[in-house]
Amino acid sequence: MKIVAGSASKRLAGKLGEVLNVPVIEAQYKLFPDGESYFRIPESVEGEDIIIVQTTGPPQDKHILELVFLLDTVKDFGAKKVTLVVPYLAYARQDERYLEGEVLSSKVVAKILNSIGANKLLTVDVHNEAVLSFYNFEAINLFASEVFADYIEKMELKDPFVLCPDQERPEILKPIADRLGTEYDWLEKFRDRITGEVKTKEKKLPVKDRDVLIVDDIISTGWTVVNAINILKKQGARDIYVFATHLVFAEGARERILNAGAKEIIGTDSIERDESKVTLAPLIAKHL
């Protein structure tokens, strides 16, 4: 078995190699003066079980194309079985056509990968599991709540409360709340499909003088989390910690969240950021 590390996931691939005790091949990459990319896999993959680790965070299109290049190349050079580890699966929020004429991008990405062929796809906290049905090979979604719970357990928190900033799958918070021996709840959020504006319905929460952990799958613009912070502060919450599996961080989201009053942002190495304090490597390794 060998791991091929794509340019977007070098750190995670290295950690996965350590956990699994398998060699990691770093794909060679350069940019030509005209803007085209060059890749090379500098070691033999013939007859090997290959794990390609390449997340598809920003710039999404570039990282998807790299994944396609790497997959096609290992197949061409005789890899036996290929597993794609794509912790952040780009375009999973375009899981259907919400407006007439929209590109069903999550399906297009799957069609491209299907056409080359792989044996398995592992992703984490995919925004909508429905997109996995577009794959004609095994596609599995893992949940980061387990590794977040390991991290949270070591924090010193005052009477913690766990909050999902929207109504999308709040039940994934249960393992965290259970580990802390506390409760969890969620808010209801609406996004304007045309302007992208995020609105969150106020709700009375038992957070006065308590530390609150906001847990979400993605931080993109950060408005979902900012709205939740504003509601929590109004209701007298103490320290607010923001956990997200995928730190996409579009349009100054990090600053927006910290300025709103979050004490700390904690993410995973699904997308490699300064705040990637929790590694997904043990979770992924368990499923390989």
Q: Is 224 in the site for ligand R5P (CB under 6 A)?
A: yes
**Burial letters 221-233, b for 16+ CB under 10 A, else e:** bbbbbbbbbebbe
**From 73, 221, 245, 270, residue interacting with ligand R5P (rule: CB under 6 A):** 221
114 sits in which H/E element: helix 105-116
Q: Note whether 216 binds ligand R5P by CB under 6 A.
A: yes
Helix%, strand%, coil% for the chain, nearest 5 = 35, 25, 40
Residue 129 interacting with ligand R5P (CB under 6 A)? no
Strands 28-31 and 37-40: antiparallel
Among the listed residues 30, 80, 189, 204, the single catalytic one is 189
Nearest distance in Å: CB 274, ligand R5P: 18
Helix (H, G, I), strand (E, B) or coil at 183: coil
| Rounded-to-integer distance, Cα 86 and Cα 88, Å | 6
Does 229 participate in binding ligand R5P (rule CB under 6 A)? no
- Which residue's CB is nearer to ligand R5P, number 82 or number 257? 257
Which among 201, 177, 218 is positioned nearest to 58, based on CA atoms? 218
Task: For residue 89, give the amino acid letter.
Answer: L
Q: Is 160 in the site for ligand R5P (CB under 6 A)?
A: no
Q: Is 186 in the site for ligand R5P (CB under 6 A)?
A: no
Minimum separation from the CB atom of position 231 to ligand R5P (A): 14
Return the number of other C-beta atoms located less than 10 Å from residue 178's C-beta.
Answer: 14
Q: What angle do CA 249, 252, 253 make, to 5 degrees?
A: 50
- Which one among 145, 220, 245, 279 touches ligand R5P, defined by CB under 6 A? 220
Binding to ligand R5P (CB under 6 A): which residues in 242-271?
A: 253
Active-site residue flag, 2: no
User: Taking Cα atoms as reference points, which of 256, 263, 264 lies closest to residue 220?
Assistant: 256
> With binding defined as CB under 6 A, does residue 219 bind ligand R5P?
yes
Nearest distance from residue 169's CB to ligand R5P, in Å?
8
Name which of 219 and 271 has its Cβ closer to ligand R5P.
Answer: 219
Q: Name the residue nearer to ligand R5P (CB basis): 177 or 198.
A: 198
Number of residues that bind ligand R5P (CB under 6 A): 14
Give the residues lining the site for ligand R5P (CB under 6 A): 165-166, 168, 198, 216-224, 253
Active-site positions read 189
